[in-house]
Structure 1
Amino acid sequence: MLRVSALFTVPGDAVAGAAASGHRPNRRTVLAAASSLCLYEAGMALNDYSDRHIDAVERPDRPLPSGRIAPGRALAASAVLTGAGLGLAAAAGREALLTATALAGTVWAYDLRLKHTPFGPAAMAAARGLDLVLGAAATAPALPRPGSTGPDSTALRSARLRRPASRPRRISGEVLRAAGLLGVHTFAVTAVSRRETLGASSAVPFAALGTVAAVAAAAGGALGKNGGRTAGQARTCDQVLAAKHIRAAKHIRAALAAAYAATAARPLAHAVLNPSPPLLQRAVGGGIRATIPLQAALSARAGRAGAAAAVLALLPSAARLSRKVSPT
C-alpha cells in the first residue's frame, strides 16, 4: 500500500530545494526530507483509502479491496503520518511548517477530492513543487526577529546595514524555477497515470514525451547568475579557473539532464507506439524513477555537484526495488 519503491524519489526534493536556495544541505534539510517521506506515505495510504471502490473493480489484489487492510486503518495511518510529517517540519522552523502544512493540505485535497477531476494533475504537480520548496524553506537560515540576540542575528543585522536592499530570502526565483520544472514533469506523469488501467490514445504519452524533452532542456541550462562568464572573457588566472569550473559544471548538468530524459523517454516512446495499460504503467513507473535524475540535475544546476551525486545514487536502488514492488 505504501509503494516503498517510490520512496527513493522523495529525499531528492529537499536536497534540490536546498541547492536551489544557495545553501548546503544541513540538519534542517534532513528534517525536511523526513517530513516529506511521512507526507508522501500519508498520501499513498489516503490514495488507496479514497480509491478502494475503484480498485475493487480494476485492482482487486490491492490491500484494501482484498481485505488485508481495513479502510479505517488506512485512514488512521494517513492521519498519523500527516501529523508526524508536520511535527518534523516544525522542528525545522516556522517557514518549513507553513510549507509542509500547505503540502499536506494539497495531498489530502488531491486524494479526497481532486484526483478524478481535471484539476488532478495540477494538484499533484503543486504537491511536488511544494515538496522542493519545503527543502529550501527548511535549509536557509531564519531571519532574526526584532530584538533577538545571538551571533546569527548579529551577522544578519550587520549584513543588512551594509546592504539595506539585500534581505536573505528562502524562496528565491531559482527555487521557484526548480519547483516549476519538477511540477511540470509531475503533471505529465500524472496525466499518463490517469489512463494506466484503461489504455489511452497515443496523444497522451506523446504529449508527456514532449514535456520531458522541454524539462530536460531547461534543467540542463545554466543559472543566469553563474552562466554569464565564458572562457573567452577570462582575464586573470582566477577567472580562467572559474571559467573551467563553469564548463565542467555545464557538462555535469547536461549529463544529468540526459539521464533524466533517457529514464523517462524510453518507456514513454514505447507507450506512444502501443498505449496499452501494461506499457502505460511502465511509462508511469519510468516517469516516477526519472524524478531522481531530474532532482540531481536541478541540484547541479544550482552548483551543488556533491548533492547531485548523492541524489543520483538513489536511482539504482529505486530501479531494483521497483521490480519487486510497483511504484504505481
Structure 2
Amino acid sequence: MRVGDLVELTRAPAAFSIPGDAWSGAAHAAVSGRGWAMPLASTCLYWSGMAFNDWCDRHVDAEERPERPIPSGRVSPDTALAVAAGLGAAGLGIAALVGGRSAVAVGVPLALMVAVYDAAAKDAAVGPLAMASTRGLDVLLGAHASPASAWQPALAMTAHTAGLTWLSRGEVHGTRPEVAGAVTAGTLAVAAATAHAAFHDPHAGRLARASGVGLSAAYAVVVGRAQARAAQQPTADAARAATRTGIGGFSLLQGAWLARRGRLVAAATVVGAGPAYRALSRRWSPT
C-alpha cells in the first residue's frame, strides 16, 4: 500500500480539523501540561474511524465511489480493517498515557461511537446525531479532568457536526433545498451563540473577546455562504463543496472558543491550519 493510498483511506487532510477540539476543551477545563498533546489521540481515533468507514462501505462504494482505495483494489479490505484497529488502539493508548483514567473514560465511549456510526447508524435517522456526538466527545476528551466545564464548545462542535453530516448525505445524489437551508440556519445560530459567549465572558480580556467575536463572524460567513449556495442549487457538487468547507470551518469555530479563553496562540495555530487543509484537500478528498 502506498502512502498516498493510506492518506486517502484515512482522509488525512481532514485531521487538520481535529486538534482544535481537544485544545478548546482543555482551555475551558484549564488543563495544562501533557493535556495539550491530547490531539494526537484524537487524530488517531479520527483516522481509525475513516478507515473503518471505508471498510464498512466497501460494497456501496464499489457502485457509487469506485475510485476509493478499497473498491479500486489499491487497499485490501483486510488491510483497511487492520489500519482501523491499529489506529484505534494507538488513539486509546495515547489518551491513557496523556490523561490517565479520566481520559480513557471519555476515549472509550468516543471510540465506540465512531464504530457504531460507521457500522450501524450512518444511514439511520439518528446518523447525524451519532456522528455529531463523536465531535462533542472529542472536545470533552481534551477536558477529561473536568468535562462539564467544556459543555459550551462541546455543544457548538456537536451542532456544527450534525448539520455537516446531514448535508453530506447529498454528496452523491444531491441534497434538498430545505435540508441545506436548515443547515445554514443552524450554522448561523451556532455562530451567534459562540459570539455571544465570547462577547459576554466576564473573565475574557478585550482582545480575547474581539477575537472570539471576529472568528465567530468569519465562521458564519465562510461556512454559511457555502451552505446557502447548496440551498439555492442543491446539486451533488454543491453539497460536496459545502461539506468540504464545513470541515475546514471547524478551525474557525474552534479558534473562536480558544480565543475566548485567551488562548490566542492556539487559536492562531488552529486557524492557520485552514490553508494547509484546503491545499491537501485539492489532492486528497477529505470526505
Bin the TM-score by the shorter chain: over 0.9
C-alpha displacement at 1:223, in angstroms? 5.7
The percent of aligned pairs where both chains have the same amino acid is 42
1:21 maps to which residue?
29
Where do residues 91-170 of structure 1 align in structure 2 (5 Å cutoff)? Answer: 91-92=97-98, 93-137=100-144, 140=145, 170=146
1:171 maps to which residue?
147
Q: 1:23 to 1:79 in 2, by over 3 A?
A: closer
C-alpha displacement at 1:198, in angstroms? 0.8
- Partner letter of residue 4 of structure 1? A
1:10 paired to 2:18: yes
Question: Contact between 1:221 and 1:253, CA under 8 Å: does it hold in 2?
Answer: no
Question: Contact between 1:196 and 1:277, CA under 8 Å: does it hold in 2?
Answer: yes
Give me the whole-angstrom Cα distance separating, in 2, the residues matched to 1:10 and 1:46: 18
C-alpha displacement at 1:172, in angstroms? 3.0
1:150 maps to which residue?
none
Cα-to-partner distance string for 1:141-199 (whole Å, 9 max, x where unaligned)? xxxxxxxxxxxxxxxxxxxxxxxxxxxxx1234x0111011100000000001121111
Q: 1:45 to 1:305 in 2, by over 3 A?
A: same
Cα RMSD after superposing both structures: 1.6
- Partner letter of residue 288 of structure 1? I
2:206 maps to which residue?
247
> How many residue pairs were aligned?
278
The partner residue of 1:57 within 39, 57, 63 is 63
Cα-to-partner distance string for 1:246-278 (whole Å, 9 max, x where unaligned)? 333221111110121122112112111110001
2:222 maps to which residue?
263
The partner residue of 1:211 within 186, 194, 219 is 186
Cα-to-partner distance string for 1:122-158 (whole Å, 9 max, x where unaligned)? 1111000000100111xx5xxxxxxxxxxxxxxxxxx
When normalised by structure 2's length, the TM-score is 0.93
The 3-state SS of whatever aligns with 1:80 is: helix
- Which of the two has greater helix per residue? 2
Give me the whole-angstrom Cα distance separating, in 1, the residues matched to 2:153 and 2:199: 13
Give me the whole-angstrom Cα distance separating, in 2, the residues matched to 1:273 and 1:186: 21
The partner residue of 2:195 within 204, 220, 226 is 220
C-alpha displacement at 1:38, in angstroms? 0.6
Gaps of 5+ in 1: 141-169, 229-244
Q: 1:28 to 1:249 in 2, by over 3 A?
A: closer
C-alpha displacement at 1:303, in angstroms? 3.0
Give me the whole-angstrom Cα distance separating, in 2, the residues matched to 1:251 and 1:52: 46
The partner residue of 2:82 within 73, 76, 95 is 76
Give me the whole-angstrom Cα distance separating, in 2, the residues matched to 1:19 and 1:255: 19
2:5 maps to which residue?
none
2:39 maps to which residue?
33
Question: Contact between 2:199 and 2:209, CA under 8 Å: does it hold in 1?
Answer: no
C-alpha displacement at 1:224, in angstroms? 9.4
The 3-state SS of whatever aligns with 2:172 is: coil
- Partner letter of residue 281 of structure 1? R
C-alpha displacement at 1:22, in angstroms? 2.7
1:195 paired to 2:170: yes
